Amino acid sequence: MAVVQKAERVGSPRSRGGKPVGNITRGTTNPNRMRRLDRWLAGPQAWRLRAAVDPLVVDLGYGASPTTAVELFERLRAVRPDVRVCGIEIEPERVRTAKALERPGLSFHVGGFEVPVPGNPVLVRAFNVLRQYEEADVAGIWRLVQSRLAPGGLFIDGTCDEIGRRVTWVALDPERPLSLSFSVRFGSFELPSEVAERLPKALIHRNVPGEPIHAFLQAMDKAWLEAAPLASFGNRQRWTGMCRSLHDAGWPLQDGPARWRLGEVTVAWEAVAPH
Ligand SMILES: C[S@@+](CC[C@H](N)C(=O)[O-])C[C@H]1O[C@@H](n2cnc3c(N)ncnc32)[C@H](O)[C@@H]1O
């Protein structure tokens, strides 16, 4: 089967005749590149998995190697020992390879955005998957995956650099997008807005004047530069100072200093949603 570099348009965001919804794309992945997102899922969001009637989690589009799906399983097992992680890939050969790593609680399946596993997952992680689709297809893909979630479930549509130092993700519940998160390694950037090249597909083309995400990135840069004197206490203090300024300026941040000190910040989706 041909492996395409860039996905074609998704004709209909519904499964037709059992065919997986989506397109095979490059399978580039790297061990540990999703650690920042996983830390959020196993931290402030862990209550969702703990409260789940069925502790089913999906890693959608795990790539050429299933390593990051195995990592997700191990990290979430610490939260909920009976978690079941299903890795789903649209490329059958990648599933065949991954099956060697199956174990109780971890399995691999061929499929697409229709999420062809029994039950409704409490978490669906799709990292570096939607970026290879068209912006116009994102809303339909979101709706399809959201329709598969359990009540209280979360769909993560995220993007990161090769080794997971610059990471962003949108979190959606079954009804609506909730938030946009940034997570960066200190020392990997000069200005926070450099993370713009790793924005999820829904936002990456919107970093232009007049769009809310542009205004937010500009506000981050301004607050980061103004917090420069705090750098003598370390970048952790400087990032925390930046977040405090953003909060004081009225940006609806959804987290606080305990997350900021990790190089993370989460803003309400309404504040950055495209016009
Ligand atoms: C760039 S890799 C990302 C791998 C891994 N998630 C990561 O971030 O390291 C994208 C993978 O998603 C798969 N993919 C693309 N569309 C998909 C879909 N609709 N359903 C399941 N997998 C899909 C591709 O085949 C590819 O292996």
The answer to whether the CB of 114 is under 6 A from ligand 1 is no
Q: What are the φ/ψ torsions at residue 92 (nearest 5 degrees)? A: -60, -35
How far apart (Å, rounded) are the C-alpha atoms in residues 257 and 239? 10
Identify the H or E element spanning 236: helix 235-248
* Domain ranges within the chain, ordered by starting residue: 19-175, 192-275
Instruction: State in Å, rounded, how far the first CA of the chain is from the last one.
Output: 39
- Mean of the pLDDT values across residues 192-218? 98
Whose CA is closest to 170, among 182, 161, 186, 153? 182
Decide if pLDDT at 2 tops 90.
no
pLDDT > 90 in the chain, percent: 93
Q: Considering the entire predicted model, what is its pTM?
A: 0.96
The answer to whether the CB of 84 is under 6 A from ligand 1 is no
Decide if pLDDT at 6 tops 90.
no
Instruction: Place 48 in a pLDDT band, splitting at 50, 70 and 90.
Output: very high
> Residue 171: which residues within 8 A CB-CB, separation 6 or more?
45, 154, 155, 156, 177, 178, 179, 181
The answer to whether the CB of 87 is under 6 A from ligand 1 is no
Whose CA is closest to 92, among 27, 136, 142? 27
Supply the pLDDT for residue 13: 58
How far apart (Å, rounded) are the C-alpha atoms in residues 58 and 138? 19
pLDDT > 70 in the chain, percent: 95
Cα 220 to ligand 1 centre (Å): 30
pLDDT tens, residue by residue, 182-204: 999 999 999 999 999 999 999 99
- CA dihedral angle for residue 6, residue 200, residue 170, residue 91, rounded to 10 degrees: 20
The answer to whether the CB of 60 is under 6 A from ligand 1 is yes
pLDDT tens, residue by residue, 113-169: 999 999 999 999 999 999 999 999 999 999 999 999 999 999 999 999 999 999 999
How far apart (Å, rounded) are the C-alpha atoms in residues 154 and 171? 6
Supply the pLDDT for residue 136: 97
> Residue 215: which residues within 8 A CB-CB, separation 6 or more?
none
Cα 180 to ligand 1 centre (Å): 21
The token duo for 176 is 């609506």
> What average pLDDT is seen over the chain?
95
Supply the pLDDT for residue 176: 98
Q: What CATH class has 19-175?
A: alpha beta
> Residue 254: which residues within 8 A CB-CB, separation 6 or more?
179, 266, 267, 268
